[in-house]
Amino acid sequence: MGTEIRIAEVTKKYGDKTIIPNLSLTIRSGEFFTLLGPSGCGKTTLLRMIAGFNTIEAGSIYFDDKSINAIPPYLRNIGMVFQSYAIFPHMSVRKNVEYGLRQRKLDKKTIREWSDSIMETVKITEYADRSPNQLSGGQQQRVALARAIVIRPTVLLMDEPLSNLDAKLRIEMRSAIHDVQKEVGITTVYVTHDQEEALAISDRIAVMNQGEIQQVGTPVELYHRPANTFVATFVGTSTVFDAVFQGNDGDAFVVIDGQLRVKVDHLRSGIADSEALKVSVRPEEFIPVRDPQQTNVLKGVVKSCVFLGKYLNYEVQLTSGRMIEMSQPASGIRDYFKEGEEIALTVDCERINVFDGAGSVNLIREEG
Amino acid sequence: MRMRKQWDSWMVIGIAIFVLTLLFLIVPLGTLFISAFKDPSTGTFSLTNFARFFSKPYYYNSMLNSIKVTVTVTVLCVVIGVPMAYLMTTCKIRGKTFLQLMIIISMMSPSFIGAYSWILLLGRNGFITNLVRDLFGFEMGTIYGFGGIVLAFTMKLYPYIYMYVSGALSKLDSSLTEAAENLGCSPVKKVFSVVIPLIFPTVMAGVLMVFTNAFSDFGTPMMIGEGYRTLPVLVYTEYVGEVGGTANFASAISMIMVIITITLFLVQTRIVDKKSYEMSFLRPLEPQKVSLGKSFLIYVFLYGVTIVSMLPNLTIVVSSFRNSSGPVYKEGWSFNNYINAFEKAGNSILNTYKFALIAILIIMVLGMAIAYISVRKKSVLSRFLDTVVMFPLIISGTIMGIMLLLTFNAKPLMLGGTATILIIAFVIRRIPYTVRSSSAILRQMNPVMEEASISLGYTPMRTFWKVTCPLMLSGVFSGLILSWITIIQELSASVILYTGSTATMSVQVYTEVSRNNYGIASAMASILTVTVVLSVLIFFRLSGKKEISL
C-alpha cells in the first residue's frame, strides 16, 4: 500500500561545505518515520531533498526502486506539511484543501467528495468556508494536513509541524497526526528536534547529528540501547561517566568514576583489561543505597528535589563535584530524600549502557 | 529535466529585462557620459565643456542658485514638516483625517501647476496682489525668482518630511517618552533628547527626498523663476536653445548634477547608517488633550499650513471657470476655457491617459518580474537589476530626456519624436516605486507558501500566477499608484521628448502658460489636478489605506 523510500549514499553540499556526507537510509512502506536531531543537523535538508526543493549532489533517492532525482518537485506527488503551515491566505479552507486536486484534472464531484472526506477525518468540516486568518494555529495545521493528504500522495513529509503550537495543543495535534497517518496508511517522514515528540509519535526514528545518522531504531531501542553517547544524551537524559574495564575469571566488571565497581553481563568480548570506557546512566537507573556499611557506591549530596507526582527528580552533586540527575518513583513519603541530605548511589547494571572510550560504540551485546 | 525548463523560463525573463535595462538605461547613461567629455567643435575627448561651465559666472551661478534654493527649501520643509508630524501624532486634533488627506493631495499635485497657481495669486496681476493694491493701496513685492521658487517648492515638498516623520513617530514606543518623563525630562527637553535623535534617520531620508526633488525639478523654476536660473533650467535651455546650445554642454551640466545628487545620497547613507537604532515596539504614542490656549496656536499652525498648501489647487480649479483672454482673467464665469482646451489641445488630454496607461501596464508587469527575480532568484544578475533599476530615482527628468534622445535619435533605433520614447521615459523614471513596493511585500512573504503549491503539483510558473501574484498585488498597487500619479504629471522629461502630436497635458499647460493662454492652461491644469485627487481617493477607497507609501 505505502511506498518504500530508499536513500542511497546521498550527499548534500552548499558550495564547498558538505551538509550531508554519503547518507543511506531505508524508510519502510507505511511507516511513521522520524528524523530527529538538534537544529543544524541536516534533518530538514534531507527532508527537502526528498521533497525536491534541495538538489542532490551525489547518490540517489528511490520511491519503490524508482529514482526520483530527476523528477521535479511538482511531479513527485508528495504531500508536505510545513512548520509555518503555509496556508494560502487568499483562499477559503475548502479552496486550500481542493487546491492540489484541481491541478489533477479530476471531475468536480470527485474533488468535492475527496475534500469533504478528508476534512471530516481531520475535523475541520465546520470551518470549510472560513478564511484561514480566522483559524487558530492548531486549526490551520489541520488544514495543512488535510491539504497535503487529500491529493493521495506517494509519501507524506512533515517539517516540524508542531513547533509553532503551544504545549497542550502540541500533544493534542500529535495524536491527531498519528491517528490520521495510521488511518490513511501513508509512508510518512517527520522532522523534529523534540525527542519526546519523536518517541511518542514514531514507528522508527533516525537520530541525526552533523549530517550523519547516529542510530536508526524504534523508540524503545533508542531509549534503552542508544548506539553512542550522543544518542544516549540527546534522546532522554543520561549522565555519561568515564569508566575502566576490569576482567576477572571471565566475569566483566566496570569501574564507574573510579569509585563504583559493577558487574556487567552482556558485554562484548575482546575488551582489554584497564581499557577506558564510557558508561551512560539514565536518572531512573540510579539506585539509592540505604546501608551505611556499603562502600562500593557513588556518594553525593542532594542539591534539589522536585516532586512531579508519579516520580521525584533529584539533582545530586557527587563528591567529584559532578552534578547528576536522578529520579525515583513515588513510593511513599518516608522514602524521599531532602535537600542537603547525603546520599549513596549504585546503578542498575542490567540497564546501564557501556561504550568504548570515544563513546561512539555501544559494547552491550544484543540479548537473544 | 522539466525542472530545468521551468528555471529557464525565469532565466529568459531575467535576461530579457537585463537587455532592456542595458538598452534603455545603461547605454543612454554611457552616451551621456561620453557626450559630456566630447568637444562640440572637434568631436575629440576633452574637458572643454566642464571648463566652460566653471569659467563663466552665468553658468556656475545657476549651480549656486540651485544649491541655495534646495538648501533653503529643505530647511523650511524640516522646520514645517517635523513639528506638524509631532503635533499630529501627540495631540488630539479635530479633523485629523481631513488634514492628512489635504497634506497628501498637496504632495501629490503637480509642482509646476503649484508654481503657476502662485503666479495667479501673487504674481504681477495676481489675485492677492490686486486685492492688496485695491484695498490698501500699496504694491507687494513680486514673487518671481528665488522667493517664488522657494514658496512653491516648500508648500509642495514639506509633506514628504511630514509623511516620513509621522511614519517614524507611529512606530515610536510610548514607554520611551514615558521613561524620559519619569527621569525628570521637561516636555521640551524630552523632544530634543529622546524623540529627535530616534527619528533622526527618518528625517534624513525625508531630507534626501526633498533635496533630490527640489534639486532636479524643472517646471517650478522655469515657471516662476523668470531670470533666476537653476541647473535643470540651464540644462534645458542649453539643450533646446537655439543660441550656442549644444548637446555636449548640456550633457556635461547633467553629469555635474548627477554627481552632486549621488554625493548627497552617499553622505546621507553614511550618516543614517551610523545613527540607526533598532527599537522594540509595543505601544504607540497616545494623542494627548491640549490646553485651550496652546491648542489655539496648534490649530492655527496646522490648518494654516495645510490651507496655504492647498491654495494652489483651489485657485487653479476656481480660475479655470473664469472668463479669460490671454493672461488676463475677466468678469464672469463659463466653461469657455474647457471648451477651448478640448478644441485646441484635446489630443494632449487623450495622450496623457493613453501613454500613462500603457506605461503603467508595462511597469506593473516588469516591476513584478524584477521584484520576483531580485527577491526569489538571487544571483549576480538579479543583484545588478535590483540596484540599477533604482538609479532613475536620483536622475532628473530633464537629464533622462536628454539621455534617451542622445541615444535614440539615430538608426538603428530611431525613436525621437515618437510616443514610444515618451513611454520608455515614463517607465524607466517611475518603475522604481513599483519595484520597491513589490520587493518589500515579497520579502515579507514566506517562500514556503510557494513550495506548498509546488508540492501540490503546480509548476513554478503556475505557482507564480496562482499564489505569488495574488498575494503580491496589494504591495504592487501601493507602488503603482505613485508611479501613475507621477507619470500623468511628468513634465521635465516630456518637455525634452515631445513633438506636436505627442504632447501631454503637462507639456500643454507649460506651453500655454508661456504663450500667455492662461485660460486654457488653468482648464488643463484643473483636469490634471482633479485626476490626481481622484486617483488618490480611489486608491484609498480600494486599498482601505490612509496614506501613500513613499
Tell the burial category of A81 from Cβ atoms under 10 Å away from its Cβ (0-12, 13-18, 19+): buried
d(CA B84, CA B162): 7
Q: Which range has highest mean pLDDT (B183-187, B471-475, B542-546)?
A: B471-475
Chain A residues inside the 8 Å CB shell of B459? 72, 74
pLDDT > 80? residue B392? yes
For residue A208, being part of any structural domain is answered with: yes
Q: B455 phi and psi, to 5 degrees?
A: -65, -20
* Predicted pLDDT of residue B360: 97
Each residue's pLDDT tens digit, A49-103: 999 999 899 999 999 989 999 999 999 999 999 998 899 999 999 999 999 999 8
* Predicted pLDDT of residue A123: 87
Question: CB distance from A104 to chain B under 8 Å?
Answer: yes
pLDDT > 80? residue B176? no
- Can you name the residues that pair with A278 across neighbouring β-strands? A242, A355
B242 — pLDDT class (breaks 50, 70, 90):
low
d(CA B407, CA B389): 18
For residues A280 and A153, membership in a common domain is answered with no
Instruction: Compute the average pLDDT of residues A193-216.
Output: 93
d(CA B369, CA B430): 15
ipTM: 0.84
d(CA B369, CA B353): 24
CA distance A145 to chain B (A): 11
Q: Which residue has the cell 520643509?
A: B77
Residue A58: count of CB within 10 angstroms of its CB: 13
Buried b (16+ CB within 10 A) or exposed e, A124-143: bbebbeeebeebeebbbbbb
Q: Are A245 and A252 in contact (CB under 8 A)?
A: yes
Instruction: Compute the average pLDDT of residues A14-29.
Output: 91
From the list B424, B532, B442, the residue with the least C-alpha distance to B482 is: B532
CATH number at residue A317: 2.40.50.140
pLDDT > 50? residue B3? no
Residue contacts between A and B (CB atoms, under 8 Å): 69
- Can you name the residues that pair with A251 across neighbouring β-strands? A248
A residues 177..236 contacting B (CB < 8 A): none
CA distance A156 to chain B (A): 10
Instruction: Compute the average pLDDT of residues B307-316.
Output: 91
d(CA A151, CA A104): 8
Q: A251 phi and psi, to 5 degrees?
A: -90, 145
DSSP codes joined into one string, B509-536: HHHHHHTT-HHHHHHHHHHHHHHHHHHH
For residues A305 and A334, membership in a common domain is answered with yes
d(CA B252, CA B293): 56
pLDDT > 80? residue B303? yes
Chain A residues inside the 8 Å CB shell of B452? 80, 82, 86, 88, 144, 147
DSSP codes joined into one string, B133-202: HHHH--PPPP-TTHHHHHHHHHHHHHHHHHHHHHHHHHTSBHHHHHHHHHTT--HHHHIIIIIHHHHHHH
User: Best residue in A74, A80, A84, A115 to probe B by mutation, most B CBs within 10 Å?
Assistant: A74
Question: CB distance from B188 to chain A under 8 Å?
Answer: no
Domain-ending residue, one of A197, A224, A251:
A224
For residues A176 and A278, membership in a common domain is answered with no
Distances (CA, A) of B315 to A186, B323, B503, B524: 73, 14, 24, 13
Q: Of the ranges A128-132, A153-157, B4-8, which one carries the lowest mean pLDDT score?
A: B4-8
- Using omega within 30 degrees of 0 as the cis cutoff, is the peptide bond preceding A21 cis? no
* Predicted pLDDT of residue A304: 92
From the list B389, B376, B359, the residue with the least C-alpha distance to B467 is: B376
Tell the burial category of B304 from Cβ atoms under 10 Å away from its Cβ (0-12, 13-18, 19+): exposed
Question: Using alpha carbons only, what angle is made at residue A112 by residues A110 and A117, rounded to the nearest 5 degrees?
Answer: 95
For residues A168 and A96, membership in a common domain is answered with yes
For residue A368, being part of any structural domain is answered with: no
For residues A253 and A148, membership in a common domain is answered with no
Residue A269 carries which side chain, given as an amino acid letter?
Answer: S
Q: What is the C-alpha radius of gyration for chain A, rounded to an integer number of angstroms?
A: 25
Distances (CA, A) of B433 to B24, B277, B362, B484: 18, 25, 13, 10
Closest-CA residue in chain B for A155?
A: B455
For residues A154 and A26, membership in a common domain is answered with yes
For residue A261, being part of any structural domain is answered with: yes
* Predicted pLDDT of residue B149: 95
For residue A364, being part of any structural domain is answered with: no
pLDDT > 60? residue B156? yes
Domain-ending residue, one of A200, A224, A248:
A224
* Predicted pLDDT of residue A290: 84
Q: Are B138 and B131 in contact (CB under 8 A)?
A: no
- Can you name the residues that pair with A342 across neighbouring β-strands? A301
Question: CB distance from A106 to chain B under 8 Å?
Answer: no
For residues A216 and A325, membership in a common domain is answered with no
Q: Are A25 and A213 in contact (CB under 8 A)?
A: yes
What is the percent of chain B with per-residue pLDDT over 90, rounded to a whole number?
Answer: 48
Residues 6+ apart with CB under 8 A from A49: A10, A12, A20, A55, A56, A61
For residues A182 and A116, membership in a common domain is answered with yes
CA distance B1 to chain A (A): 6
* Predicted pLDDT of residue B244: 54
For residues A103 and A170, membership in a common domain is answered with yes
For residues A187 and A256, membership in a common domain is answered with no
A295 — pLDDT class (breaks 50, 70, 90):
confident
Chain A residues inside the 8 Å CB shell of B476? none
CA distance B378 to chain A (A): 15
How far apart are the two ends of chain B, measured CA to CA in Å? 43
For residue A334, being part of any structural domain is answered with: yes
* Predicted pLDDT of residue B423: 96
Q: Are A246 and A255 in contact (CB under 8 A)?
A: yes
Domain containing residue A22 = 5-224
Question: CB distance from A50 to chain B under 8 Å?
Answer: no
Sign of CA dihedral A217, A219, A221, A226: positive
Sign of CA dihedral B103, B109, B112, B113: negative
Q: Are B62 and B68 in contact (CB under 8 A)?
A: no
A182 — pLDDT class (breaks 50, 70, 90):
confident
Each residue's pLDDT tens digit, B72-117: 999 999 999 999 999 998 888 888 889 999 999 998 888 889 999 9
d(CA B150, CA B135): 27
Instruction: Compute the average pLDDT of residues B515-540.
Output: 91
A202 — pLDDT class (breaks 50, 70, 90):
very high
B2 — pLDDT class (breaks 50, 70, 90):
very low
For residues A139 and A183, membership in a common domain is answered with yes
Does the beta-carbon distance from A76 to B2 stay under 8 Å? no
**Mean of the per-residue pLDDT values for chain B?**
88
What residue spans of B37-126 are helical by DSSP H? 48-55, 57-90, 96-108, 111-122
Instruction: Compute the average pLDDT of residues A202-208.
Output: 95
For residue A366, being part of any structural domain is answered with: no
What residue spans of A185-228 are helical by DSSP H? 195-201, 219-224
Residue A198: count of CB within 10 angstroms of its CB: 22
Q: Are A172 and A188 in contact (CB under 8 A)?
A: no
Question: CB distance from B182 to chain A under 8 Å?
Answer: no
Q: Which residue has the cell 569508566?
A: A243
Domain tally for chain A? 2
For residue A126, being part of any structural domain is answered with: yes
CATH number at residue A118: 3.40.50.300
Each residue's pLDDT tens digit, B328-344: 778 888 888 898 888 88
pLDDT > 60? residue A368? no
Question: Using alpha carbons only, what angle is made at residue A303 by residues A302 and A305, rounded to the nearest 5 degrees?
Answer: 80
B5 — pLDDT class (breaks 50, 70, 90):
very low
For residue A58, being part of any structural domain is answered with: yes
* Predicted pLDDT of residue B355: 96
- Domains (range + CATH), chain B: 1-42+334-550 (1.10.3720.10), 50-319 (1.10.3720.10)
**Mean of the per-residue pLDDT values for chain A?**
90
Domain-ending residue, one of A202, A224, A246:
A224
E-assigned strands of chain A? 5-14, 17-27, 32-36, 58-63, 66-67, 78-81, 155-159, 187-192, 204-209, 212-217, 239-248, 251-256, 260-263, 276-281, 286-288, 298-307, 311-318, 323-329, 342-347, 353-356
Which one has a higher pLDDT value, B318 or B282?
Answer: B318
Which one has a higher pLDDT value, B241 or B199?
Answer: B199
d(CA B264, CA A261): 78
Each residue's pLDDT tens digit, A136-152: 888 999 999 999 999 98
From the list A239, A317, A230, the residue with the least C-alpha distance to A284 is: A239
Instruction: Compute the average pLDDT of residues B171-191.
Output: 76
From the list B391, B406, B496, the residue with the least C-alpha distance to B31 is: B406
Q: Are B214 and B69 in contact (CB under 8 A)?
A: yes
For residues A146 and A75, membership in a common domain is answered with yes
